[in-house]
Structure 1
Amino acid sequence: MRILLLDDDKCLCQTLERALGEAGHVVEYACDGASGEYFAANSEFDLLILDIGLPDKNGIEVCRKLRADGIVTSVLMLTARDSLDSKVKGLDAGADDYLCKPFACDELFARIRALQRRPPLRVLPVVETAGISFDNVSHRVCGGKTEIKLTAAEYKILEYFITNPGVLITRSMLEEHLWGAESTSVSNTIDSLIKKLRQKLGWDAKSGPIKTLRGAGYRLDR
């Protein structure tokens, strides 16, 4: 993979550049948000590893700007271990996963492998289905002219369905998409999230586009 690493700790960047390079990845790094935005917009990368604590602008702002510019490169956000609020804001801004500092290289490699297994986004900037519009650039979901407020988890589930229409999606796939390869969530958490998502979108469990495939998972029919 071609990886862009954004962290203001130059020593950490150099350490990870060596470790990731030995694992077969090609790494470039920058230590401020402006440089990272430039590199991400002008070069092709498979993954952006983005620290929240950058000197000029925080990583959440950088992630939000890249998504607004239509850049769909996978983003792995680095956060402080006790900063739950930052994790939620990072996911809301468009991050695909997060990793708490300090971390072991083995855990980083596992997160990267999990992101590699995810299918690439195949969604148009705006998709309309079953009475709602899904804007992959602004991260807004609307029913008519009314914006539907979704949590970060609900949005990511809807995004996963819309980018994989007609595909069987298991609960395990959704758990990994939401929380990474090391997820310890129980399966009924997914069922509860989908129930709430259907309610907010006005999609009936039986006649709506998200079909429950008993014993298998779910599928979005468009």
Structure 2
Amino acid sequence: MNTALCEALRPALESAGYRTDFCHNGTDGLSLLTSGAYDVCILDRMLPGLDGLSLLRAARSSGITTPVLMLTALSGIGERVDGLDAGADDYLAKPFDTRELLARLRALSRRPGTTAATSLHSGDVTLSPTELTLTGPKGSVHLTKRECDLLEALLRTPGRLQTRPLLLAQVWGPLAEVEDANLDCYIHFVRRRLQSVGSSAKVITVRGSGYKFEVQP
């Protein structure tokens, strides 16, 4: 989605209670969508690098079921059919009214199996993003918002590599100017949090690539 449209939509989405991440090309979009960390996706059909239809087909073929609302200036019946056949759950033509966009997002979020869980369970820990708490065998600990966001990104994909750029985009936002050292610091913090609640789960460093959350047998 182009930068101007992202910046125009951001205030309305955040005012409606959505925590948002944006990216501006298909390759980054596929990485974000296949992370499994999102409850709903707004996808522009015309993207540089990897177009929206190809992105969506790749995500669906990898098992991603996140509801997708596709935006496009191509509003003919053929284009709509192509979008829906590629795996889109809904289709909205440009130009559009933001009120309609929000209504369609609410409808997608209400579909069975798409509502965000209040807590995440992985191995011997439970994360509550709403309460900012992590609970394990030895009790609970309160988290900062940044720690919670990082743990949420890791817990949603146990055993799966989360690259450094992807974690930075999910936790700080894709446009934030953040040094890699900040991520390393917060990885250290969440490891200490896991230890403090007596968890046997580990955040594993994949040198040169990123991190994995691994649940011990």
Tell me the alpha carbon deviations over residues 11-52 of structure 1, each in whole angstroms, 9 at most, x when there is no partner: 110111111001111010000000011111225100110010
Tell me the alpha carbon deviations over residues 47-106 of structure 1, each in whole angstroms, 9 at most, x when there is no partner: 110010101121111110000010100000112253322210111011100111001110
Distance in 1, Cα, partners of 2:23 & 2:62 = 19
Residue 90 in structure 1 maps to residue 92 in structure 2: no
Distance in 1, Cα, partners of 2:77 & 2:64 = 25
Match of 1:64 in 2: 57
Residue 104 in structure 1 maps to residue 97 in structure 2: yes
Match of 1:116 in 2: 109
Query: Map of 1:171-186 to 2, 5 A cutoff?
Result: none
Paired amino acid for 2:47: L
Match of 2:48 in 1: 55
Alpha-carbon contact 2:36-2:66 (below 8 Å) kept: no
Alpha-carbon contact 2:69-2:88 (below 8 Å) kept: yes
Higher relative contact order (CA 8 A, sep 6+): 2
The unaligned stretches of length 5 or more in structure 2 are: 115-217
Alpha-carbon contact 2:40-2:68 (below 8 Å) kept: yes
Paired amino acid for 1:73: T
The unaligned stretches of length 5 or more in structure 1 are: 1-6, 122-222
TM-score, reference length from structure 2:
0.50
Identity of aligned pairs, percent?
45
Query: Map of 1:1-222 to 2, 5 A cutoff?
Result: 7=1, 9-80=2-73, 82-120=75-113
Distance in 1, Cα, partners of 2:47 & 2:34 = 18
Superposition RMSD in Å: 1.3
Paired amino acid for 2:37: E
Paired amino acid for 1:91: L
The total of aligned residue pairs comes to: 114
